[in-house]
Amino acid sequence: MSYEQLTYETEDRVAILTLNRPERMNALSKRLVEEIKAAIAAADADPEIRVLIVTGAGDKAFSAGYDIKESAEAPKRGLAEWRARMQQDIAFTYTPWDCSKPVIAMINGFCLAGALEFAQCCDIRYCADDARFGVVETRFANGIATLMMPWILGNRCRELIYTGDMFGAEEAHRLGLVDRVFPKAELRAETLKIAKRMARVALDCLKYNKRAINQSFEIMGLRSAIQYGSEICAVMDAVGSPEAAEFDRLRRAEGLAAALKWRDAQFRPFE
C-alpha cells in the first residue's frame, strides 16, 4: 500500500510509523486512520520486524485527535449511525493492542482526545518533556469511544475525564500514563535505543509475553467494559446536550475558531 498521510520506515528490526499531517497537528482523518491500520498490519506480518514505534511528524503534536474539521462537514447522525461510528473508532484504537508485536507510542507535543485513546492502546508510551495530554472531548460534550484510561490510571482518571483538563509530561509520568519522559531533542534516539534492545529478544518470546499480558486485562473484563463505554458514548452523542448543540451550531455557521473560542470561554474563569 502507498501512504499519503503516513511515512513507514524500518531500522534494525524496528518499524517506525509517522503520522504525517503536521499542518493539521497530525489530526486523524479517515484516510490517515486507514493508513495506520494498514501499516500496523504490514509490520505485524513482516518477519523482519519485532517492534513498532508510532509517532507524529513535526514538533507540535503526536496527534490532536480525530479531525473535527472533517467531522463538521459530515451530516448529523442518529443513534444507529453513532453506534456504527463508535465501532469503527474502537476497531481503530484496538489496532496496536491487537498487533501481536510490541507497539511503542513516541509522543511529541500534543496527544489529545482520540489520539490519546490510541496511544493508551499501545504497549508502552514514551514522551518528550514538552508533551501535553488531555481528554478534551469531554469539553466538547462528547463521549469517549475507547475508555482505556481507567485500566491504566485506575480511579485517578476521574478528574482528568470530568474536567477535560490538559496536563504535561511530568504529571503524565507521575500518574503512570507514560513510562518515561525524555528531553525533546533526545526522544527519538532514546526510544529507538530501547526499541532495538527490545528487538534483541526472540520474536516468539515478545509475542507470547504480549499475549499473556493482554489476556490478563481481558480476563478482568477490559473488552466488555470498553464496549459498554462505547455504547454510552453513542447514546451521549446521539441524544446531545445544549452545550454540544451550541458548539455544533457555531462551527457550522461561523467556523471552528469561533466554536473553540466559545467553548474555551466557558472554562476560562475556573482555570
Which of 137, 159, 170, 243 is flagged as catalytic?
137
Query: How big is the CA angle at 73 (ends 71 and 75), to the nearest 5 degrees?
Result: 90
73 is catalytic: no
Of 91, 14, 19, 23, nearest to 50 by C-alpha is: 14
11 is catalytic: no
Of 40, 50, 161, nearest to 91 by C-alpha is: 40
Which of 4, 23, 48, 117 is flagged as catalytic?
117
Catalytic positions are 117, 137
